[in-house]
Chain A
Amino acid sequence: MSGRGRLVAAAGILVLGFLLAVGLLEARVQEAAQASVKPAAAAPGPEKPAAVRPARERMAAYVILGWVWFSIGVLLWILRLRVREADRVHRMGWVRAGEAGPKRSEH
């Protein structure tokens, strides 16, 4: 950032800080003055929880979740084997390339 850019950025931060400070002070004064005339806000109505559902379905969700995590575990194990194999093949390529040329990578 150029010197002029820095100056603009610094001026922007100063102006923002000043506005925030003035705003905070004025907000306090206005809040105190408006407190008596503010209309009463209604309390939010009761929320219908998502848990309102048959126990059977809830149990099904937990079973599905357990099954999902088990499947993920198995798939991750398979993926790990595949990644190792793919990395081994890739390293072999590096080694061959290194043998062919003067440079050898540290991968």
Chain B
Amino acid sequence: MKALRAWTEDRLGIRPVAAFLAKKEVPCHKHTVLYYTGSSILFFLGIQIVTGVLLALYYQPTLAEANASVVRIMTEMPLGWLIRSVHSWSATFMIALVFVHLMGIAFTKAYRKPREATWLTGVLLLGSSLAFGFTGYLLPWDELSLAATKVGTNLPKALPVIGTWLTRVMRAGDDVTGDTLTRFFIVHVSVLPLALLAILGVHVFLVQRHGMSVPLEAERDKIKLPWLPFWPNFLLREAGVWLVLLGVLLTVAVFLAPGIGPQADLMAPAPEGIKPEWYFLFMFQTLKLFPARILGLNGEMIAVMIMMAGMAAVLLLPFIDNRPLERKGKVITGLAWAGLAYAVGLSIWSLL
């Protein structure tokens, strides 16, 4: 065993990493619970990768076979329905946790200097997660997923100059077809995972580089907070959280397994009750609120540009609120609460 350890150490040189983890401290304070959200996101990402690979073994991304292959996975493969359900629900849980994680950081102002780059990579990770959800929604190739993708890919068209080109790139043509399905599949299983893992690597490195954020008062007054060793005290606690989350995920996946609609027909009219995934509902409702023309301008374009401005503001938050530690940033907190209330309110409205 010793020889094996020495052999590994000679080749990988992981002793400094192990020493770093052994010395790593986790501060204990009123926001410590937020630390668990980050590792739980990683936990769900791991489940997504495992179940995604299993589904990809049987899924066929072609016009004729996509829907039928998902039906086969659900009805003929042993526990295929459960694998698909776990994949779908873990995506939901992961995105919900990414939102909670980012909101927690926004409210505690943990994005301020020197953690601007950590925030930027975090928002990019949210964008990647949403892109995963968007591309994955089309893959079952049923009526609702086709209609929702038509609406979703039509949105960039409203943008000036690059809009039409962007829509064509997303759809692999002028309309949503079998080529779109193939493109979405490739993006879902290769482009996005590579991008997400690369951004995640930078994000985790930056978290280790700058250390875990602590409340503003403690950072400002340089108060040494009580702490726990990462190994084993904090990691054991995290393992407990993961176990509970795994139980909840499996229970929800067994009792609320998603079904699948009839195969999409490219020539059929859009069905009633098109709804995107829950995390896009507030954007969907915002678009519904905007009429075709406002004061002579294209209403959809205005709505898309406002939403893009909002996203840019979220991405650049550390540079908008770049005040010193003494300032609490109540305006930003107020705006964050208003944004949250708006998103939740419009999502509920969309469901009614």
Contact = CB atoms under 8 A, between A and B. Distances in A.
Interface of A: 1, 5-6, 9, 16, 19-20, 22-24, 26-27, 29-30, 39-53, 57, 60-62, 64-65, 68-69, 72, 75-76, 79-80, 82-83, 86-87, 90, 105-107
A76 B259 contact: no
**What's the dominant secondary structure at chain A's contact region?**
helix
Among all A-B residue pairs, the 8 with the closest Cβ atoms: A50-B257, A45-B262, A107-B226, A44-B271, A26-B291, A27-B291, A47-B259, A49-B259
A20 B236 contact: no
A65 B82 CA distance: 11
Given A50-B84, A90-B228, A65 B233 contact: no
B251 interface: yes
B200 interface: no
Contacts of B262: 45-48
B289 A23 contact: yes
A20 B306 CA distance: 11
User: Among the interface residues A23, A52, A57, A69, which one has the most CB atoms of the partner chain B within 10 A?
Assistant: A23
B251 to A, nearest CB: 6
B49 to A, nearest CB: 20
Contacts of B290: 19-20, 23, 27
A35 to B, nearest CB: 14
B32 interface: no
A27 B299 CA distance: 10
Interface of B: 28, 71, 74-75, 78-79, 81-82, 84-85, 142-144, 226-229, 232-233, 236-237, 239-240, 243-244, 246-247, 250-251, 254, 257-262, 268-273, 288-295, 299, 302, 306, 320-321, 323, 329, 331-332, 335
A98 to B, nearest CB: 13
A42 B289 contact: no
Given A22-B295, A87-B233, A51 B257 contact: yes
A106 B223 CA distance: 13
A30 B291 contact: yes
A83 B241 CA distance: 13
A46 B74 CA distance: 16
A45 B294 contact: no
20 contacts: A6-B331, A24-B289, A26-B294, A39-B269, A44-B273, A48-B259, A49-B257, A50-B74, A50-B260, A53-B75, A53-B81, A57-B79, A61-B254, A64-B250, A72-B247, A76-B244, A79-B236, A79-B240, A79-B243, A83-B236
A19 B262 CA distance: 39
Contacts of B81: 50, 53
A62 B254 contact: yes
A75 to B, nearest CB: 6
